[in-house]
Structure 1
Amino acid sequence: MKQTITVRTRDGKQRDLPPDQVNRLRSSLSGSLLDRDSSGYEEARRVWNGMIDRYPALIACCTSTEGVQRVVTFAHEHQAILAVRGGGHSFPGYSTCDDGIVLDLSPMRQVYVDAVKRTARAESGLRWGDLDAATQQHGLALTGGQISHTGIAGLTLGGGIGWLARAFGLTIDHLQGADIVTADGQLRRAAPDADADLFWAIRGGGGNFGVVTAFDYALNPLEPQVTVLQIAFPIHEAANVFQAGEALLAAAPDSVSATFAFVRTPEGMPLAALTVVAIDPPDDAVQRLEPFRHIGPAVFEEIVTTPYTALQRMLDEVAAVGLRYYGRSNFLMNLTPEVVGPLAAHYEEAPSPGSLVLFVRLGGAVAHVAPEETAFAHRSFQWSLTALAIWRDPGTDEANRNWIERTWSSLPALPQAVYVNELEEEGSARVRAAYGMNYARLTAVKKRYDPDNLFRRNQNIPPA
């Protein structure tokens, strides 16, 4: 006879689950319901960030919307802590929990592309690499994450920044509708003409309002090949080359996107690196990228035409599953010497060679949508900055976390604006900074659809 399963409730207490009700839930699911004695539990509890080591009481591996409804209802009735996991890429580990219930969407990976209508319908356990492959078969694409094993759900719900954002907008700007299970266990259709306030909120408000089981996206034509310039400079040239690169980007069309970064060579040399991508036809793209080759004394340079799907996998090993991650992020208007200088200096002291500082260029189509039109308010910023410690050895956790804190504290006052998908567990003020001017409206939507705050394992918006 199995041991009684005890869960942590939303008020911080412990509750024993009636065995017959657990068995009833298990038999009602077409997927698995794992407890700590189950085969496969150890693998199923692990998430992308190796720093996160939590032990849920139950892991429900859902294969259908009906299964999701049953798990949500069960968690609500028993007041259990509930974590929802798509790809499991949450930096602070919100996609899992200790002693609660994890609703795992990863078995739900169906995708259908309508090449004529230029749309895709994708279940929420799908990874970006799979969605990219399905859409590119038809010469289509939408803005997605820059790592192919990221889940589509979390990235979409937080806004969705990627290589195509300047050309086509954020991921949420492609969203036509979504199927979502709310806290009452009901399946709803969130779209412009159905639960419109909910549709507004899930476009940038994160997982606060329910469990999305399927997304409907509009797609854009995109040829399979893109042109990529990678160029690197000694890190002491960072302020100069970043300033020159930023000026070129300001004059470039929206078909050109870029990330600037501090990285290390395999030998440990710190570099200021630029990756500039053009989605124009190859001959035009090379011309677009040519000026970036002359902004300083490069130590490395390569320009290639490559499949878009390969570009989307370029950072997969850098951000591999199981490495340890800790970071800080913020939106910026410009790359000023007052920001770039301290970041470059502290990067040279990073305890782990895998760590990086990343500046992702925004603007273009991102800014074509009004800040109140979706829950993603921070449309006017030109850059998203992330300083990220990446390491393997648990024995260096403190050194890496301290490096991030020292680096961040060296910066001047930054705008009160941060990308919610890059936020650690940093307190309510930073959560407000993520949602910006839309925070009050989001709390009202939260009150309507989740008044008891069942969906709290996220950058949480409490009910008004």
Structure 2
Amino acid sequence: MNGTDFDGLRGQVRGHVITSGDADYDAARAVQNGLIDKRPAAVVQVSQVADVIAGVNFAREHGLALAVRGGGHSGPGFGTADDALVIDFAHTRGVRVDPAGRTARTEAGATWADFNHATHAFGLATTGGVVGSTGVSGLTLGGGIGYLDRKYGLSCDNLLSADVVTADGRFLTASEHEHEDLFWALRGGGGNFGVVTSLEFRLHPVDTVHAGIVIYPGDHAETVAKFYRGQLADAPEEFGAFLAFHQGPPVPFLPEEFHGKPVCIVVGMWTGDPAEGPSRWQPFLDAAPVAGSMVGPMPYPALNSAFDGMYPKGLLAYWKAAFLSELNDGAIDAHLEYGRRVPSVQTAVHIYPIDGAVHRVGSGDTAFPNRNASFSPVIACHWVDPADTAANIAWVREYAAALQPYSESAGYINFMDGDDLDKVAENYGPNYARLRDVKTKYDPQNLFHINQNIVPA
């Protein structure tokens, strides 16, 4: 354990500085992924921006590694590290909505469930993932895929400004009008450039949606996958839905005979004219025999948090990701082979569409460069028993290798794991050199390196 004396830091912050001798240390150091068991030197549960400035300065001056935790959902557990100082936003989760201006400003510790609860009161939303307990900051800084991206773009495309504490302890606001280079880099470049303390978003009129969760027996997965491909190609951007391979979840609308069995699922929503909702989902109900379904009007926050109960903190997890320019027969065959062998009910293999509005942003307009990809598949394996770890990691790696011939060279950094750090330059492609220049300007000593790291030029 790092021998640094943290009494000086305690005197500089209003939040809580937790070290190994404190009763709440084990709870404070835990992240979402139970496979990550790090012992940081201290966790600073910040209460305001001044605490963040003090924490950054303390880490820099004492030569400490610095980890930043928003929602804590990072697959590789980048919200913690051995002997590091962790800046933890667990207690800063406020969201302030401007309904007239259709904007919202959120603190860095807010989850999408927090955000959607606040904005839904005004019939507004922005793109924000598919699991409500995911942190707003981490998802947005890496890009931000979600149900609304076909219509409204990625989360980072809806970012209007961000407050940032840089490596030298300065407090900056980045937007299209100030520190434009930093603003460009934050939209997809991850946590490489500073500690983001708040984010301002553009909102859109999204209230009650016509949601669908349609579950098919695994034997019909090929029919469903090819139908999904054709249907989505012609679907209006108001229809956002992903294709998934799971074990049958224990939900009331799925008969027990399918629980724990291989299934194929289509999940999403229609945000257009409510009267068209049933007709938009009927083709999916007719495409193949349905094991169980729930289709109908639903508040957007309810759909966005529908799967939260399946992913409690502490599950063991290992992820891999890619981008697909098309969902061709080869990619479908790979999904059929491995998707039918999903090893646990918590494991999620999802194929997210990222066309429509995502494609209308240039590859160099934000740090997120992958604007020609049409789908972003993720293999998110979760399990309970540590004895299954080796087999599950091997399954994920074999699955990813089977998809590789049909995939682009890059992958989505929010879905990458800790052994993917050698792919960072490839993931950013033509934007990597520019990102290195911005990194050099704002963090020349690479204080912020516990992430999908961009090395200073």
**TM score, norm. by length of structure 2:** 0.95
Change (3 A) 1:425 1:179: same
Paired residue for 1:394? 386
Paired residue for 1:431? 424
SS in 2 for 1:28: coil
Q: Give distance in 2, aligned partners of 1:386 and 1:93.
A: 17
Say if 1:339 and 1:411, in contact at 8 Å, map to a contact too.
yes
Paired residue for 1:77? 61
Where does 1:198-209 land on structure 2 (aligned, <5 Å)? 198-209=182-193
Please tell me the residue identity of whatever aligns with 2:216: F
Residue from 81, 84, 93 that aligns with 1:97 = 81
| Aligned-pair CA distance for 1:282 | 2.2
Q: Which runs of 5+ in 1 are unaligned?
A: 1-5, 8-15
Please tell me the residue identity of whatever aligns with 1:245: Y
Residue from 220, 242, 246 that aligns with 1:263 = 246
Structure 1 residues 79-112: Cα deviation after superposition (integer angstroms, max 9, x where no partner): 1111000111110111100111111112112221
Percent pairwise identity: 38
Residue from 222, 230, 233 that aligns with 1:250 = 233
Residue from 155, 166, 170 that aligns with 1:186 = 170
1:448 aligns with 2:432: no
Q: Give distance in 2, aligned partners of 1:175 and 1:79.
A: 32
Say if 1:347 and 1:356, in contact at 8 Å, map to a contact too.
no
Paired residue for 1:331? 323
Residue from 387, 400, 407 that aligns with 1:408 = 400
| Aligned-pair CA distance for 1:412 | 4.5
SS in 1 for 2:242: strand
Please tell me the residue identity of whatever aligns with 1:260: L
Structure 1 residues 254-289: Cα deviation after superposition (integer angstroms, max 9, x where no partner): 100111111112432201111131012321222222
Say if 2:145 and 2:155, in contact at 8 Å, map to a contact too.
yes
Paired residue for 2:210? 227
Residue from 330, 352, 359 that aligns with 1:367 = 359
Say if 2:163 and 2:172, in contact at 8 Å, map to a contact too.
yes
Paired residue for 1:378? 370
Range 371-380 or range 312-321, more displaced:
312-321
Where does 1:28-427 land on structure 2 (aligned, <5 Å)? 28-223=12-207, 225-265=208-248, 266=250, 267-413=259-405, 414-427=407-420
Say if 2:125 and 2:204, in contact at 8 Å, map to a contact too.
yes
Please tell me the residue identity of whatever aligns with 2:75: F
| Aligned-pair CA distance for 1:133 | 0.7
Q: Give distance in 1, aligned partners of 2:231 and 2:334.
A: 23
SS in 2 for 1:289: helix
| Aligned-pair CA distance for 1:356 | 2.7
SS in 2 for 1:456: coil
| Aligned-pair CA distance for 1:391 | 0.5
Say if 1:328 and 1:404, in contact at 8 Å, map to a contact too.
yes
| Aligned-pair CA distance for 1:418 | 0.8
| Aligned-pair CA distance for 1:380 | 1.8
Q: Give distance in 1, aligned partners of 2:117 and 2:287.
A: 35
Say if 2:247 and 2:342, in contact at 8 Å, map to a contact too.
no
Structure 1 residues 153-196: Cα deviation after superposition (integer angstroms, max 9, x where no partner): 10111111111111111111111111100000000111111110
Range 177-186 or range 34-43, more displaced:
34-43
Paired residue for 2:255? none
Q: Give distance in 2, aligned partners of 1:230 and 1:282.
A: 17
Please tell me the residue identity of whatever aligns with 1:38: D
| Aligned-pair CA distance for 1:339 | 1.7
Structure 1 residues 352-377: Cα deviation after superposition (integer angstroms, max 9, x where no partner): 33323111112111111111000010
Structure 1 residues 371-410: Cα deviation after superposition (integer angstroms, max 9, x where no partner): 1000010112111111121111112111111111222223
Say if 2:262 and 2:341, in contact at 8 Å, map to a contact too.
no
Range 386-395 or range 353-362, more displaced:
353-362
Change (3 A) 1:366 1:84: same
Q: Give distance in 2, aligned partners of 1:238 and 1:395.
A: 30
Structure 1 residues 60-84: Cα deviation after superposition (integer angstroms, max 9, x where no partner): 1111111100100110111111100
Paired residue for 2:7? 23
| Aligned-pair CA distance for 1:315 | 1.5
| Aligned-pair CA distance for 1:438 | 0.6
Please tell me the residue identity of whatever aligns with 1:116: A
Say if 2:127 and 2:146, in contact at 8 Å, map to a contact too.
yes
Q: Give distance in 1, aligned partners of 2:28 and 2:98.
A: 33
Please tell me the residue identity of whatever aligns with 1:262: F
Change (3 A) 1:353 1:220: closer
Change (3 A) 1:246 1:84: same
Q: Give distance in 1, aligned partners of 2:367 and 2:416.
A: 16
Q: Give distance in 2, aligned partners of 1:202 and 1:162.
A: 18
Q: Give distance in 1, aligned partners of 2:132 and 2:275.
A: 27
Change (3 A) 1:340 1:443: same
Paired residue for 1:463? 456
SS in 2 for 1:351: coil
- CA-atom RMSD, angstroms? 1.4
| Aligned-pair CA distance for 1:290 | 2.4
Change (3 A) 1:34 1:405: same
| Aligned-pair CA distance for 1:428 | 4.1
**TM score, norm. by length of structure 1:** 0.93
Say if 1:204 and 1:376, in contact at 8 Å, map to a contact too.
yes
Q: Give distance in 1, aligned partners of 2:400 and 2:322.
A: 10
Q: Give distance in 2, aligned partners of 1:407 and 1:361.
A: 19
SS in 2 for 1:381: coil
Paired residue for 1:13? none
Range 231-240 or range 188-197, more displaced:
231-240
